Structure 1
Amino acid sequence: MTHIAEFGARDCSAPQIKGWCPGALQPMLSGDGLLMRPKILGSRLSLSQASEVAGVARDCGNGLIDLSQRAQLQLRGLSEKCFAQAIMRLACAGLTARDMRLEAALNILSSPLPGNADAVVESLAQAFPSDQALGSLPGKFLFLVDDGSPGLDDVLADVRIEISGDAVCVVAEGARDVAARVSPTEAAEAAMALARAFVRLRTAAPFERRRMRALTAELGVEAVFREAGLRAEPHRDAWPRANPGGLIGAGTIGETHFACLGVGYARLDAAQLSRLVLEAEDCGATELRLSPWRMILVPLPSRADAEHLVNAAGALGFVVDETDPRLTVLACSGAPDCPQALSATRVALDELAPLAARLGAGGVGLHVSGCVKGCARPAPAPATLVARGDNLFDLIFDGDVNGEPFARGVNPVTAARLMAQRAEETGR
């Protein structure tokens, strides 16, 4: 049975915190129709699955597809009359969960290239559904499997599985300085043990303790590991923080050749994805790997194949140059797509992107948010624009959406002028 979750009456002063993400079986009603996410585990899509996702977006939605910071694809603008067809097609492609409870609870993000993470993801995905207790996990709870290809140190997840050769460390978010050391075959069970401990320990305050970092901050990581039956030992992150921009283009890590393609402003359309699948297949690829950095990585047989695909993808509108300023901007869907947004957020991105690139110095330079929730980026940014009304924004420097504004109620033209001044003053 499928359930459509609707937004309630809009309260501009207090945007609703949903505490869950749309799925396939439980889409969310938004300003442009239904939002639906295929169930993608471990950030991997076969080419046939990717082709079906594009087809569903084209035939059942408005053709727009967002790539989320959790390495998931979100199909936009689906109509209620055809979402049953969409579910059936996604299910036939292996992109739905058994039921809504499992769909919400089982969320796995993994390193975006083939490696040791794949076997652990498979073990976790197979063992998880039979554990009834884990069905009580909140909808945003996230497992992360990181084998360093490349490292995911910058991604927040409730339970982390870090793999370095035969050494595996299981970490609870909010206390990365300790971990349980286990063998690769024990990794999935240890991660689920931490998740079960989380379920039991949060019952007294389920809303306040809806993420692992809140639980470890309140009760202490030792209590969580003790409840899980695991021994906590001192730990350091297994892998250094990746430089996502440096991945763009044709690359090789270890023995894996790949094409890394940026998705401008984290949005592509169905035709673009369909054509990418065809080009990737011609180059010898079998799958797409999604990343939390608004990039798609495509493993390929040779470096020459990777270079060929990069050239083809550039013609399709993907970002294939690490200096492309589109990589430095994060923006939510904004109005009218999101009923909680107070303004459109994407109308001036091309004009603001070069300034964001100057301020970002190789990373994200601008976050544009349609409301104070800051869905696209919880962290601070060199420049943040928060919508306050129709095409008017508060501009915050070196802060998040709750920071002190440098200027209030400015339009994008004024914001661009102030950002340019800031870049000059800071020597960027």
Structure 2
Amino acid sequence: FHDLSPKFALSLDAGEALVMREHPHDLWLSALEVDGEVLLAFGLAGCPGHDAPLAAVALAEGHALVIAVLDAFLESARPEQTRMRHLLAAMPIEEFLQAVGRRLIGPLRRQACSHRALELPNPVGPGLPANALGVYQQSVAGRVAVGAAVPLGRLDASMLRAVAQLAAQWGDGTLRLTPWQSVLLPNVCGEHASTVMAGLHAAGLICNREQPLANIIACTGSAGCVKGLADTKTDAFKLAVLLEHHGLNLPVHLTACSRSCAAAHIAPMTLLATRAGHYDLYFRDTQQPGFGALRARDLTIEAVGALFAADSRSSTDD
């Protein structure tokens, strides 16, 4: 499988609520109960948050399915077809599923998934989904998991020490990192959840969606990427301070180039770097390609904050 693109992505979830279901993958699998039996439903070049499964296999066949899909892809794809979506644009999906089926001992269960939608949480927009933060009941009575987000995905040593101490003192020492750039401390007694949350907040983590940083995402930027035209992480922190000053909490995506590595979907508001400290501002518009409608060019972060504040006042006045 070394011939696969480094970006060829697979997703597997067990059907739980706290799972990344809105990010597209070349192959996704999601546990699904049908008539008392747990199956693995799967889809290609999409995500279970938006796409119905194509078929399912028995749980024990899950590994064999993944191998079959990868083998069929490598056999069928031309060199320029590096992702599943490229192959399926030229090859009927039924033909590909037949190639997969020939490699499996058990059957592909098409009928089990026919017109059957997975039971999923409400779709969420770009930025941190609501289920990345807060307190979540576990299957063990009286035990909860406590989640908090890392500001712009940067977990420094002092934060990590504080989180580790909380996990050891109030949980069982387990610490999990999530797909939403957040941490999760499981196996906490429910009565101690507020204490753990207060400790996470004191350590500098984001504990509720009312904080502006909870809805801002930024790529690595020029500080860590040669293609970056601006230091997006630093500028995002500046923007968060400005938004908090104006009492605003907006879903904004800062990207240091047009590749948009930090966001799988178009954000409601995108700041595309033009040079250090300057950005073009786009508002999402489904009728327009790319990031959407261009609102303003070559803005400083201070100008962006002022524009958002002016828009807010105008909307209030109206």
Instruction: Name the residue aligned to 2:56.
Output: 181
- Partner of residue 409 from structure 1, selected from 291, 298, 304: 298
TM-score by length of 1: 0.61
CA distances 1:145-182 after superposition (whole Å, capped 9, x unpaired): 12223243212121111113413212212483342222
Shift of 1:377: 1.0
Instruction: State yes or no: 1:216 paired with 2:84.
Output: no
Q: How many residues align?
A: 288
- 8 Å CA contact 2:229–2:257 kept in 1: the answer is yes
The amino acid of 1:296's aligned partner reads V
1:197 and 1:238, CA in 2 relative to 1: closer, same or farther beyond 3 A?
farther
Instruction: State yes or no: 1:303 paired with 2:170.
Output: no
State the identity %.
Answer: 24
Shift of 1:391: 1.4
Question: Alignment RMSD, CA only?
Answer: 2.7
Residue 258 of structure 1 aligns to a residue whose secondary structure is: strand
Residue 173 of structure 1 aligns to a residue whose secondary structure is: strand
- CA distance, structure 2, for counterparts of residue 194 and residue 156 of structure 1: 16
Shift of 1:139: 0.8
The amino acid of 1:388's aligned partner reads T
- CA distance, structure 2, for counterparts of residue 384 and residue 306 of structure 1: 35
1:378 and 1:276, CA in 2 relative to 1: closer, same or farther beyond 3 A?
same
Instruction: State yes or no: 1:381 paired with 2:267.
Output: yes
Residue 310 of structure 2 aligns to a residue whose secondary structure is: helix
- CA distance, structure 2, for counterparts of residue 148 and residue 296 of structure 1: 17
Residue 54 of structure 2 aligns to a residue whose secondary structure is: strand
Instruction: State yes or no: 1:420 paired with 2:287.
Output: no
Residue 144 of structure 1 aligns to a residue whose secondary structure is: strand
- Partner of residue 236 from structure 1, selected from 117, 121, 134: 117
Question: Structure 2: which 5+ runs fail to align?
Answer: 102-107
CA distances 1:87-111 after superposition (whole Å, capped 9, x unpaired): xxxxxxxxxxxxxxxxxxxxxxxxx
1:168 and 1:217, CA in 2 relative to 1: closer, same or farther beyond 3 A?
same
The amino acid of 2:121's aligned partner reads P
**Structure of larger gyration radius:** 2
Q: Larger relative contact order (C-alpha < 8 A, sep ≥ 6)? A: 1
- CA distance, structure 2, for counterparts of residue 284 and residue 359 of structure 1: 32
Shift of 1:394: 0.7
- 8 Å CA contact 1:331–1:376 kept in 2: the answer is yes
Shift of 1:301: 4.0
- Partner of residue 194 from structure 1, selected from 63, 69, 78: 69
Residue 304 of structure 2 aligns to a residue whose secondary structure is: helix
Question: Structure 1: which 5+ runs fail to align?
Answer: 1-133
- 8 Å CA contact 2:132–2:182 kept in 1: the answer is no
CA distances 1:336-378 after superposition (whole Å, capped 9, x unpaired): 3322111221334244237499564xxxx10111111111114
- 8 Å CA contact 2:135–2:146 kept in 1: the answer is yes
1:376 and 1:272, CA in 2 relative to 1: closer, same or farther beyond 3 A?
same
1:404 and 1:163, CA in 2 relative to 1: closer, same or farther beyond 3 A?
same
1:350 and 1:178, CA in 2 relative to 1: closer, same or farther beyond 3 A?
closer
- CA distance, structure 1, for counterparts of residue 135 and residue 296 of structure 2: 41
The amino acid of 1:197's aligned partner reads A
Shift of 1:384: 0.7
Most deviating of 276-285 and 259-268: 276-285
Residue 227 of structure 2 aligns to a residue whose secondary structure is: coil
- 8 Å CA contact 2:23–2:264 kept in 1: the answer is no
Instruction: Name the residue aligned to 1:142.
Output: 9
- 8 Å CA contact 2:266–2:291 kept in 1: the answer is no
1:157 and 1:426, CA in 2 relative to 1: closer, same or farther beyond 3 A?
farther
The amino acid of 1:323's aligned partner reads E
Residue 164 of structure 1 aligns to a residue whose secondary structure is: strand
Most deviating of 328-337 and 346-355: 346-355
The amino acid of 2:60's aligned partner reads T
The amino acid of 1:143's aligned partner reads L
